[in-house]
Amino acid sequence: MSDPILQVKGLKKHFEGSTGLMGRKKFTIKAVDGIDFEVGRGETVGLVGESGCGKTTAGRTIMRLYDPTAGEIIYDGQDLAKATSKDLKALRSQMQMIFQDPYASLNPRHTVGKIIAAPFEIHGVEPVGGVHKEVQMLLERVGLNPEHINRFPHEFSGGQRQRIGIARALALRPKLIIADEPVSALDVSIQAQVVNLLDDLQDEFGLSYVFVAHDLSVVQHISDRVVVMYLGKVMEIAPTESLFKSPHHPYTKALLSAVPVPDPEIERKRERIVMNGELPSPANPPQGCVFNTRCWKAQDICRTTAPDLLQIGGSQVACHFPE
């Protein structure tokens, strides 16, 4: 890819923990264990996988909400992993985050006006026409009534609160937005409204998105490319249509086969791939390919050697025996 806005190279985030009597047993959770992907300008990259696969940790580490254990996060040519807190503050005005829970991510004691204006205050920016006018413009842009600027979060519904979160993320005109499960707490009809809003804003402001979600239907709809994660590793990266129509990695195939389609006739005919066993603990991931314990194609090499992410057509796949 020429001139991507974000390059993630060999990114690792390990958490240390302890257990047992007096916390003497130490262990390491390898939440993100060496992932590589890129995000092009104006592109939406979906980050999917089951709970515990490291997708949220990856998103937060890219924002430097966590300090990475290893690897590079190159935003617009600059490595965030090495950036000082002063550099970071400047860079963060260009990258913003939208969170899952619209109830927990807005301060209940602040008015909507104050919440959306916070980025201006923190970064010492005075928008043309003044803060008040800009906030009203942002409210209007995300589909809220600008007259409601003095209301508090509890006076809004879940979907409206998510719009407030989006307005706040847009305030400084960022180039990259990391959206962590932005629509999973919303009802279906409201979810569609917010997905369309994110689509419109992308065109209007030339945004790039990293869209972290577990709902593959939504990811399929919104993403240009999809990164599939399992136990802290990337299994497959592919353009959306090719990933959903002809997945190369056995895990991707199994994951997709589990998603129910809202169509009774298709559901009656469908065969599901049942994976062996349960998700292993990220504190003790399997040797070799992390997916080998649940994979129906696993051979000896899968138990000893972790596969590299290799190019197959337009996709990148980490598997010794791709489909």
Partner 1 sequence: MKPFLEVKNLSVSFQTEDGVVRATDDVSFSVNLGETLAIVGESGSGKSVSSMAIMGLHNPKRTEIHGEIFLNLESGSVEINSAEEEVIRKLRGNQMAMIFQDPMSSLHPYYTINNQISEAWLLHNKGDKKAARARTLEMLDLVGIPDPHKRIDEYPHQFSGGMRQRVMIAMALVNNPKLLIADEPTTALDVTVQAEILALIQEMQKEFNTAVLLITHDMGVVAEVADRINVMYAGRLVEQGAVDDVFYRPAHPYTVGLLGSIPRVDEFHGKRLKTINGQPPSLIALPQGCAFRERCEFASHVPGNLCATTRPESTLKADSHQSRCHLNLAEVSAISAQRSAN
Where do contacts with partner 1 occur on this chain (CB under 8 A)?
A: 50-51, 157-160, 187-193, 195-196, 199, 214, 216-218, 220-221, 240-241, 244-245, 254-267, 272, 274-275, 278-279
Shortest reach from residue 202's CB to partner 1, in Å: 12
Question: 91 or 190: whose CB is closer to partner 1?
Answer: 190
Question: 83 or 256: whose CB is closer to partner 1?
Answer: 256
Shortest reach from residue 252's CB to partner 1, in Å: 12
Shortest reach from residue 27's CB to partner 1, in Å: 16
Shortest reach from residue 193's CB to partner 1, in Å: 5
8 Å CB contact between 212 and 218: no
- What angle do helix axes 158-170 and 112-123 make, rounded to 10 degrees? 20
Question: 30 or 161: whose CB is closer to partner 1?
Answer: 161
Shortest reach from residue 46's CB to partner 1, in Å: 12
Question: 121 or 200: whose CB is closer to partner 1?
Answer: 200
Question: 275 or 302: whose CB is closer to partner 1?
Answer: 275
State how far the Cα of 302 lies from the Cα of 322, in Å rounded to an integer.
Answer: 12
Strand ranges for 154-207 from DSSP E: 176-180
State how far the Cα of 319 lies from the Cα of 300, in Å rounded to an integer.
Answer: 13
Which among 25, 54, 75, 86 is positioned nearest to 229, based on CA atoms? 54
Which among 31, 89, 85, 77 is positioned nearest to 58, based on CA atoms? 31
CA dihedral 114, 119, 125, 131 (to 10 degrees): -30
